[in-house]
């Protein structure tokens, strides 16, 4: 899946194209994937609705 997340190393928003859905310990859906520029793992919290998509 694709998502936009904030990369802390690049210090800007990046379009992550190889993201995957995961869940936090509390069951909240998050998207996670490598930054296209620096390969740092970028995460983004999703709404419950998005997490089910």
Does 2 bind Zn ion (CB under 5 A)? Our answer is no
Out of 4, 28, 38, 45, the only residue in the binding site for Zn ion (CB under 5 A) is 38
Instruction: State which residue, 4 or 38, has the beta carbon closest to Zn ion.
Output: 38
Cα-atom radius of gyration of the chain, to the nearest Å?
11
Does 8 bind Zn ion (CB under 5 A)? Our answer is no
Residue 12: partners with Cβ closer than 8 Å, 6 or more residues away: 6
Does 17 bind Zn ion (CB under 5 A)? Our answer is no
The answer to whether 5 touches 31, Cβ cutoff 8 Å, is yes
Does 30 bind Zn ion (CB under 5 A)? Our answer is no
């Amino acid at each position: 899946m694709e998502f936009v997340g904030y990369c802390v190393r690049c210090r800007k928003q990046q379009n992550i194209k190889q993201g995957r859905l995961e869940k936090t310990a509390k069951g909240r859906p998050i998207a996670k994937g490598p930054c296209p520029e620096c390969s740092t793992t970028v995460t983004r919290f999703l709404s419950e609705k998005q997490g089910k998509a």
